[in-house]
Amino acid sequence: MSRKCLPTLVLISTLFVLPTVIHAAQTLTSLRLLYPSFAGSWGTAWIAKEAGYFSNEGLDVELIRVGGSTRMVAALLGGSAPIIQAGASAALAATAAGADVVIIGSTGTVSPFRLMARAEIKQPSDLKGKKAGITTFGSTSDQIVRMALKHFNLEPNKDVALLSFGAQPEVFAALQSGAVQAGALSFPLYAKATKLGMRELVNFAELGAEDINGTVITTRSLIAQQRDTILRFLRAFTRGMHRYRTDKEFSKKVLGKYGKISDDETLEGTWQDYAPTLQKTPRPSLKAIQFLVENQFPGKKPPPKLEQFVDTSLVEQLEKSGFIDSVNK
């Protein structure tokens, strides 16, 4: 079985945070971090690992790609990993259903997605009676495609059928083959789609709403049991955000390694697309979560409280200690 992609419901029989002896005198705490794709929005953890920031915090972090945010939330709840990076919408859905899932960090508030359509779609109304691709139901791509369709006065699954493909590369392949006529893509896939003659119907960053991307998700029980481990993870993650934003050449090298990209134009575009939008602190945007909650749970009575979905206490602890300011001097 490939270590790069776990099945949806793998259950790990051993504990997911184990001490591992590295050399004779150094002991690191091992943990797994799951992420959904090779898009630049997930590059912070790769950079933190390659720069040695995790090991500096006494952590041996194994990075594993699992396509689809809802799959990763299931893996988190099943014990396959203590921390995941996934779309916020999947975390909100799990929390609303009573699961022990909480957002503790994010990298930015600018949406990386574009709704791309095949060349025969000249205008949004042409999508009526057609199909749109998403990663998984309940994922961020699911929510933003629904949002875009409503923006164009089209009803999801009535005017436009939604088909799930598991991950962005598969959505892109479905667009290429004509299995769907539209899909939400981030860089570099939306740039590749443009080169193939597809057109951008909407840039979600221009819809005027804050997004929450690069989301870091764990469980409240783990925070209670191993708060120091999570804090050390966020310390290294914050350093990774700073390095991503300020060291273009190193970041491009890491993006190329994990994304298996050698084309400098693509690497440059990926860095330009994400790095300038990175925050100086991994604080999740409550405004963005509020926007998602209103769109994801319309008419729900009583309306869900934001405190259900997010725990900002860890980031606040890092801010009060002066750590965030020291990184961003």
pLDDT tens-digit map of 17-44:
444 434 434 588 999 999 987 788 889 9
Pick from 30, 169, 138: which is nearest to 146 by CA? 138
Most confident residue range from 11-20, 63-72, 153-162, 300-309: 153-162
* pLDDT reported for residue 139: 67
Q: How far apart are CA 106 and CA 85, in angstroms?
A: 9
- What global pTM score does this model have? 0.78
Question: For 38, which DSSP code?
Answer: S
- Does 16 have pLDDT greater than 80? no
* pLDDT reported for residue 23: 40
* pLDDT reported for residue 19: 44
Mean pLDDT of 137-155: 81
Band (pLDDT 50/70/90 cuts) for residue 294 is confident
Two tokens, residue 109: 């508030």
- Does 10 have pLDDT greater than 90? no
User: Any residues with CB less than 8 A from the CB of 101 and at least 6 apart, and which?
Assistant: 73, 76, 77, 91, 94, 95, 217, 218, 219
Average pLDDT, the chain: 86
The interaxial angle of helices 286-296 and 88-96, nearest 10 deg, is 60
Over residues 184-215, the pLDDT tens digits come to 888 778 888 998 999 999 887 777 667 788 99
Look at 232 and 202; give whichever has higher pLDDT.
232
Mean pLDDT of 177-184: 93
* pLDDT reported for residue 186: 81
- Does 302 have pLDDT greater than 60? yes
* pLDDT reported for residue 146: 84
